[in-house]
């Protein structure tokens, strides 16, 4: 069933991209849950999907499109002062992102005849990722983790008590902007793994499961990264094996990854 699994170049590429997305999303996801910005993560995913569609239209690396529009969305969400303003901006951006994605995908399909464009953008296409995507994902994930490691103390304080962080001299608005940029990067890698629509599952699911099992934020970040990586690699393995279940057809990788994330959260919820 798994003959040649590790000898397959597309599988190696998928495992690398998936691991990068899972680890970065797991760590950032813990802060996202603590800050109550899960909805913002979902909105950035929808905005980044427009970037993925735009990259198909231009014929450039999808990751550049995903992150470019995701970063623009982060800039749009930064600086909102009240929770009501945040919710309004996030909701409007979510709908606008999906609408723009629909338009750009239409142009990409009709002008460039890109087969399966909508499916790859919205639901991921790990096995068909370009060869250089793995190295780019690895570099991006390492850069994101390094920046997060340098900011983790003020970010944790601001996540738990924004007012106290401001009193202690932390520039909370700038910190929020940097965090949203990191969130856009995590969503970008997740979009390449499970697609823009489902990327929130990889961002929030492992982090929520970890926070139910451990109390210390550092331990939760580590556990969320492990859970996410296990679900991603397990999903890739199951998708590879599914070729033998329905010969000639591989089941969607994103389905298996999200299903395993759901099972992991359910197990953590029952144990807690």
- Number of separate domains in the chain: 1
* Residue 2 lies inside a defined structural domain of this protein: no
Each residue's pLDDT tens digit, 28-77: 999 999 988 888 888 888 888 888 888 878 877 777 888 888 888 888 87
* Residue 18 lies inside a defined structural domain of this protein: yes
* Residue 4 lies inside a defined structural domain of this protein: no
Find the Cα–Cα–Cα–Cα dihedral 34, 37, 38, 42, rounded to 10°. -160
* Residue 236 lies inside a defined structural domain of this protein: yes
* Residue 43 lies inside a defined structural domain of this protein: yes
How far apart, in whole angstroms, are the C-alpha atoms of residue 231 and residue 202?
9
* Residue ranges making up the domain that contains 58: 9-271
Going 234 to 144 to 49 to 126, the CA torsion angle's sign is negative
How much is the pLDDT for 11? 81
DSSP 116: T
pTM greater than the 0.85 cutoff: yes
* Residue 235 lies inside a defined structural domain of this protein: yes
* Residue 157 lies inside a defined structural domain of this protein: yes
* Residue 170 lies inside a defined structural domain of this protein: yes
CATH number at residue 116: 1.10.3470.10
Each residue's pLDDT tens digit, 152-205: 899 999 888 888 888 888 888 888 889 989 998 998 888 877 877 788 889 999
Query: Could you report how far apart the first and last alpha carbons of the chain are, in Å?
Result: 35
- Tokens at residue 212, please? 């139910």
């Amino acid at each position: 069933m798994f003959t040649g699994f590790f000898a397959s170049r597309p599988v190696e590429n998928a495992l690398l991209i998936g691991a990068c997305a899972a680890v970065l999303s797991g760590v950032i996801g813990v802060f996202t849950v603590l800050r109550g910005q899960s909805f913002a993560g979902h909105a950035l995913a929808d905005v980044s999907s427009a970037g993925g569609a735009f990259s198909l239209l231009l014929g450039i690396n999808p990751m550049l499109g995903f992150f470019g529009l995701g970063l623009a969305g982060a800039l749009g969400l930064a600086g909102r002062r009240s929770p009501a303003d945040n919710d309004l901006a996030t909701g409007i951006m979510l709908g606008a992102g999906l609408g723009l994605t629909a338009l750009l995908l239409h142009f990409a399909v009709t002008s460039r005849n890109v087969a399966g464009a909508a499916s790859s953008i919205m639901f991921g296409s790990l096995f068909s990722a370009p060869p250089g995507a793995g190295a780019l994902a690895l570099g991006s994930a390492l850069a994101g983790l390094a920046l997060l490691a340098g900011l983790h103390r003020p970010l944790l304080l601001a996540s738990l008590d924004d007012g106290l962080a401001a009193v202690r001299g932390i520039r909370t608005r700038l910190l929020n902007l940097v965090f949203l940029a990191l969130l856009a990067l995590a969503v970008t890698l997740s979009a390449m793994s499970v697609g823009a629509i489902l990327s929130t599952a990889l961002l929030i699911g492992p982090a929520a499961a970890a926070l139910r099992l451990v109390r210390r934020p550092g331990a939760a970040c580590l556990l969320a990264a492990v859970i996410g990586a296990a679900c991603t690699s397990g999903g890739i393995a199951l998708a590879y094996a599914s070729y033998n279940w329905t010969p000639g057809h591989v089941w969607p990788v994103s389905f298996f990854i999200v299903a395993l994330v759901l099972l992991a959260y359910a197990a953590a919820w029952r144990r807690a």
